[in-house]
Structure 1
């Protein structure tokens, strides 16, 4: 049995046993949450303790990889610029679209109230930050205090400045620092691997409390979450076709035919890296020179996750809706900036690890509690399919745009003469 299956089974059993226990003896069942809740929270805290060093390490190494790619030549430089444009574009799309989806299909009030009561640490309503608050706090006065206080946006701003400063150092100094942060990142991933081995226990403990307090509302809310967050990934996937058509000059049908094999591999493996050979073949079919695709696609697989910022922000916005946290302009701006910036650090991480490493900073930046993430990671398999397929589709689409700009291909997607 795979770890993802064990985690999902623990979620279902936890909620189910919690519901059954309340039916048999409500007093005893609720008393048992006094044991299960601390176990689940301890597991969440174990994940939370590595987020700050992990994000700092990933950002430094991610910026280093991006800078090296940009220096590698004109083609790679164009690709990196386009990556950044797409990442910010999809993030802004999510910021606009997710609230609309939640308005059109809100979580039923009864479910929302029950779930809110089931999760400890839900915030009390306070002052909603404004845009002025956002700009007042974006630059840290004390980076250590920012890290200690889980102020991820100012911490990210400092880390970005630090990472770009490293890229300006002499080669030996740059490599020493990059290697140091790579080692820190690797060590944090080892710790996360240890913690995730206990995920079935931690998720079962959290799910039991939710099932005991909410009943069937928990299952309905998880289905609601899967559909809405996956919808954001699907929109990014569709945007890939538009990018290929209007940016790369590739007809819709031709692009769909060329990218379909890579999408099939992505669905079966949930890995962009495993889809790389099919992406290279598909790019050739739409007229991108092998030399161009051979530069752009490996860089894309390494540092470009088109769906990540949009879906990470969508998760944070969903949890805010779930817990009744009002999101003002300042919080939304902080979430958009954090989601778009930290994405470059999400290189080659397994889905379960990247879920916490990518979503938690966005949630922290927006003032959204992360207790719900312990349950949502158990159903991440379905949204992760949309993440991977959307990433693969956009990788090929961006490659078609770079190929057109580099090789002067015509509107039919084929190389021009002369």
Structure 2
């Protein structure tokens, strides 16, 4: 059994045992949460402790890789511009559509109340800004205090500026610093893998408390969450078709037929990297020159995830709605900026790692409690399908669009590198 299925099984068993215990002896079931609660919290804290160094390290190495790619030629630079614009656009799409979806298709009030009761210890984290405070605090005055206070957006802005500054150094100095942060990331990933090895225990403990306090409402709420967040991923997937038709100037039916094999590989493997050969074939069928596709697609697989910021923001907004945390303009702006900026830093991580590393900073920046993420990571397998298929679809669409704009560059090989 894979780790993802073990985690999901732990979630189901934890909620199930909690429900059964509450039916047999409500007081005894709640007394047992005095033991399971601290166990689950300790596991969650172990994940939290690596977020700051992991995000900073990933941003530095991610920006370095993107800058190196952009320097490789005009096609690569144009690809990076498409990627950045699409990431911000899909994040804004999520910021608009997710609240609408949550209002139109609401979580039943009794479920929401029960879930809030099950996380009575959850408190907003970080500084929750008004819109004026958002602009006033977006640049940190003290980066150490920002890191210590879980002020993720100011910390992210500093890390981003630091990463771009490193790209302007001499090659020897740049390689030393990038290598240092790459080693930092690798060390944090080792710790996270250790923590995730204990995930079935931690998630069982968290789920037991939810089941004991909420009953069967927990299962209904998780299904509502899966459908809501997956819907945002599906919208990003559909926007890939729009990009292909409008900017790539290909017919909708032709694009759908060409990209279908790559989507099938994405569903079966849940890996954009494994889908790369099929994406290359689809791009060439749609008229993209091999030299152009051979530049854009590897960069896309390495540093671009179209669905990530939109779905990460959707998760944070869902948890806020779930727990009754009001989200004003300042909180939403902080969430959008954090989601869009941190995406490039988390793309190379496995799904269970990238979920927490990507969503936690967004939640904290918005003042949303992150205790619920320990449960939601257990059901990430299904939304992750939409993440991967959406990424593959958009990667192919951008490749076709860039190839259309770069036809002249391919005709002048001194402009673009040979592949």
Q: Is 1:155 aligned to residue 126 of structure 2?
A: no
Partner of 2:238: 238
SS in 2 for 1:179: helix
Partner Cα distance (1:49, 1:141) in 2: 23
Q: Deviations over 1:193-250 (max 9, x none)?
A: 0000000000000000000000011000000000000000000000000000000001
**Relative to structure 1, is the Cα distance of residues 337 and 88 closer, same or farther in structure 2, using a 3 angstrom cutoff?**
same
Distance 1:408 1:101 in 2: 43
Question: 2: CA distance between counterparts of 1:280 and 1:324?
Answer: 45
Alpha-carbon deviations, 1:99-153, whole Å to 9, x = none? 000000111111111101101433379x973210101111111100100111000
Could you tell me how far 1:407 is from its partner in structure 2? 1.3
Could you report, residue by residue, the CA deviation over 1:142-176 in whole angstroms, capped at 9, with x for unpaired residues? 10010011100000011111111100000000000
2:51–2:357 CA contact under 8 A, matched in 1: yes
> Do the aligned partners of residues 109 and 344 (structure 1) sit closer, same or farther apart at CA in structure 2, a change above 3 Å counting?
same
Equivalence map 1:10-25=2 (5 Å): 10-25=10-25
**Counterparts of 1:407 and 1:129, CA distance in 2:** 46
Question: Aligned equivalents of 2:118 and 2:294: distance in 1?
Answer: 50
- Give me the whole-angstrom Cα distance separating, in 1, the residues matched to 2:77 and 2:253: 29
Partner of residue 304, structure 1: 304
1:271 aligns to what SS in structure 2?
Answer: coil
Q: Using the alignment, how far apart are the partners of 2:53 and 2:270 within structure 1?
A: 27
In the alignment, the residues of structure 2 paired with residue 275 and residue 176 of structure 1 have an alpha-carbon distance, to the nearest angstrom, of: 33
**Structure 1 residue aligned with 2:144:** 144
Find the aligned partners of 1:253 and 1:124 in 2 and give their Cα distance. 47
5+ unaligned residues in a row in structure 2: which ranges?
A: 410-419
Q: Which residue matches 1:217? A: 217
Q: Distance in 1 between matches of 2:298 and 2:67?
A: 15
CA distance in 2, matches of 1:123, 1:184: 30
User: Where does 1:253-292 land on structure 2 (aligned, <5 Å)?
Assistant: 253-292=253-292
- Output the CA distance in 2 between the equivalents of 1:387 and 1:256: 18
Equivalents in 1 of 2:241, 2:213: separation in Å?
44
Distance in 2 (CA, whole Å) between partners of 1:384 and 1:138 is 30
The corresponding residue for 1:135 is 135
Tell me, which stretches of 5 or more residues in structure 1 are unaligned? Answer: 410-418
Are the counterparts in 2 of residues 120 and 371 from structure 1 also a CA contact under 8 Å?
no
* Aligned alpha-carbon RMSD (Å): 1.4
Residue in structure 2 matched with residue 347 of structure 1 by the alignment: 347
Indicate the larger mover: 105-114 or 240-249: 105-114
- d(CA) in 2 for partners of 1:48, 1:117: 23
1:143 & 1:158 partners in 2: Cα distance?
7
**TM-score normalised per structure 2:** 0.96
Aligned partner of 2:415 in structure 1 is none
The alpha carbon displacement at 1:337 in A equals: 0.2
Show the 5 A alignment for 1:36-185: 36-123=36-123, 129-185=129-185
**Matched residue count:** 409
Distance 1:212 1:347 in 2: 36
TM-score, L = length of structure 1: 0.96
1:317-369 deviation digits (Å, cap 9, x = unpaired)? 00000010000000000000000000011132100000011000000100001
Q: CA deviation at 1:403?
A: 0.5
1:330-341 matches, within 5 Å, as 330-341=330-341
Please name the residue that 2:414 is paired with: none
Structure 1: 4+ residue segments shifted above 4 A: none
